[in-house]
Amino acid sequence: MKNFFLLCLQFVVFLIVFAAGSLFPPFRIEHVLAATPTFTHIFVADGLVLMVALYVLIVIAEALMKRLLKGIPWTTLALILAAVVGLYLKFGFITHEL
């Protein structure tokens, strides 16, 4: 039960970091997906970068607490679920029309 609660909490935190990094990009890492004379589709990868950086920090904290075998699978699952849901919700995708 405790692991499921931590999974949900980490999922929400990862999703918030992904959304915040996509809406307010600190690094401006942009990839043009499609460009035509009328519109441009851009993906801002800052949210993903911040989410992975947070994942690394959580894994380091779990390693310091000696919870590697218990915590890392749940943290990884939360990261994957947050990435899938965030991409499904189109966090980071921008369309500029001329």
What pLDDT is stored for residue 49 in this prediction? 97
Q: What is the DSSP string of 24-72?
A: S-SS--EEEEEE-SSEEEEEETHHHHHHHHHHHHHHHHHHHTT-HHHHH
Rounded to two decimals, the pTM is: 0.91
8 Å CB contact between 17 and 49: no
Residue type, 87: L
What's the whole-number average pLDDT of the chain? 93
pLDDT-based confidence at residue 68 (cuts at 50, 70, 90): confident
**Stretch 1-26: mean pLDDT, rounded?**
94
Q: What is the pLDDT of residue 98?
A: 77
Confidence of residue 66 (pLDDT cuts 50, 70, 90): confident
